[in-house]
Structure 1
Amino acid sequence: MRVIIVDDHPLARAGMVGELARVGGFDVVGQAHDVDSAIAITRELKPEVVLLDVHMPGGSGGGGAEVVRACSDLYPDTKFLAISVSDAARDVVAVVRAGARGYVTKDVTGEKLADALRRVADGDAAFSARLAGFVLDAFGAGSGDVADRDDELDRLTAREQEVMRLIARGMAYKEVASELFISIKTVETHVSAVLRKLQLSNRHELARWAAARRIV
């Protein structure tokens, strides 16, 4: 199966390439690191599946969903499987609304990632039970409530949202830095920006804020 991997972290891309090589049956024909390069390489190579990070730089700030929309004329030849550290309802529904066929989190095993890619390539959906519930809530009941805009959340950049969710889950700065392949100093900078934008005093208030919105 011909696959393109899109992620703004080189180590994350390398990890996914390595896992797919270990499992076997996949030919990673290209890689991209931002919205613009992802759109260009997808339209050029037209793979069976694009494994697509949800939050990444470039374009008009729409991340993975923007890539899917920009390549919508390639359907049904090319399918999209979203991958992210986030399992928040808002992120899941946004990229599915754009046209992705599945969504997995970055703690997925190589075997489960391979299975999700195969299912998406075959035209099936690929979600965990929890994430599938978000999709059913948003689409099965005809309700858009899950994806409604949150003005406070929209103040944060995609990277700040990633850091916010991990911190709100109780992860230490060092753990967040390792998860996102950034420095501890960068994590501290993002956390300070998040607290300032949300007008919160500390990470405990941040955890309560995130839990109240069901985004952790």
Structure 2
Amino acid sequence: MTDTGTSTETTPGRQVRVVLVDDHRMFRTGVQAEIGDTPSTGVDVVGEAADVDQAVSVVSATRPDVVLLDVHLPGGGGVEVLRRCSSLMTDERPVRFLALSVSDAAEDVIGVIRGGARGYVTKTITGPDLVAAVFRVADGDAVFSPRLAGFVLDAFAATDTPPVDEDLDRLTQREREVLRLIARGYAYKEIARQLFISVKTVESHVSAVLRKLQLSNRHELTRWATARRLV
């Protein structure tokens, strides 16, 4: 990965408590071996999770300093974890989130930053740089690779584009999740399993999305989502 501008120096004796959230057990094991098994790193891995529900439960129970959060997770993704943990980010001792993902897509970066994450690095980051990024995020700094920082600057600082998509803004967070899954070709039963809701609730959300966007069917919905790079 490109240089994050992080310093690999840490404060002697200081410990940062971290939770790892990723649906691949081998990756979690590798990260723990890289940053959490050596006392000299100053990182104490206090919990792991493989999906949205587990993540919310573990983060709420352990109240870590930093959560290393994958973007694509069963149950609604990293954005859903951020939404459900939003109250923990504003505590007197806030939990801070650092996205760690294989994806470098602009929509993924912008989505989690809007959700409250303090930074975003890709899984090609080195162990020492990841340790340094964890400490910086724990201190309240924002950490990105240069390319990903550009996405965020473009999204939040551009003056020649509207700050929000008015059509998309009509949808609730859950409706947006259903919209993306429909556009990716998921069947109603598959969406229900992914989001832990009933098929009837999925049908209700789809009807609401079609009505709000003034679309007739899921094919039009897929074209609409693809045109906005939401898929």
Q: Which residue of 2 aligns with 1:75?
A: 89
Equivalent-residue separation in structure 1 for 2:85 and 2:53 (angstroms)? 11
Question: What residue in structure 1 maps to residue 184 of structure 2?
Answer: 156
Q: Given the superposition, is the C-alpha separation of residues 138 and 154 from structure 1 closer, same or farther in structure 2, using an over 3 Å criterion?
A: farther
Asked if residue 8 in structure 1 is aligned to residue 36 in structure 2, the reply is: no
Residues 35 and 90 (structure 1 numbering): CA distance in 2 closer, same or farther, change over 3 Å?
same
Q: Hey, what's the Cα distance between the residues in 2 that align with 1:46 and 1:125?
A: 20
Structure 2: segments with no counterpart, 5+ residues:
1-15, 169-175, 187-221
Larger Rg: 2
1:141 partner letter: A
Counterpart pick for 1:46 among 55, 63, 66: 63
* Residue in structure 2 matched with residue 141 of structure 1 by the alignment: 158
- Alpha-carbon separation, structure 1, partners of 2:27 and 2:127: 13
Displacement of 1:115: 1.3
The equivalent position to 1:25 in structure 2, one of 37, 42, 51, is: 42
Verify: 1:108 aligned to 2:125, yes or no. yes
Question: Could you tell me which residue of structure 1 aligns to residue 189 of structure 2?
Answer: none
Structure 2 Cα separation of the partners of residues 157 and 117 of structure 1:
36
The one-letter amino acid paired with 1:3 is V
Q: Distance in 1 between matches of 2:74 and 2:53?
A: 9
Given candidates 37, 54, 74, the residue that maps to 1:37 is: 54
The structural deviation recorded for 1:153 is: 8.5
4+ aligned runs moved over 6 Å, structure 1: 148-154, 212-215
The 8 Å contact of residues 7 and 56 in structure 1, kept in 2 or not, is answered as yes
| Conservation of the 8 A alpha-carbon contact between 2:107 and 2:229 | no
Unaligned runs of 5+ in 1: 159-197, 200-209
Using the TM superposition, give the Cα deviation of residue 144 of structure 1 relative to its aligned residue in structure 2, in angstroms: 4.0
CA distance in 1, matches of 2:181, 2:56: 26
Identical amino acids, percent of aligned pairs: 55
Q: Structure 2-normalised TM-score?
A: 0.62
C-alpha distance in 2 between matches for 1:132 and 1:64 = 18
1:5 deviation in Å? 0.2
Q: 1:85 to 1:213 in 2, by over 3 A?
A: farther
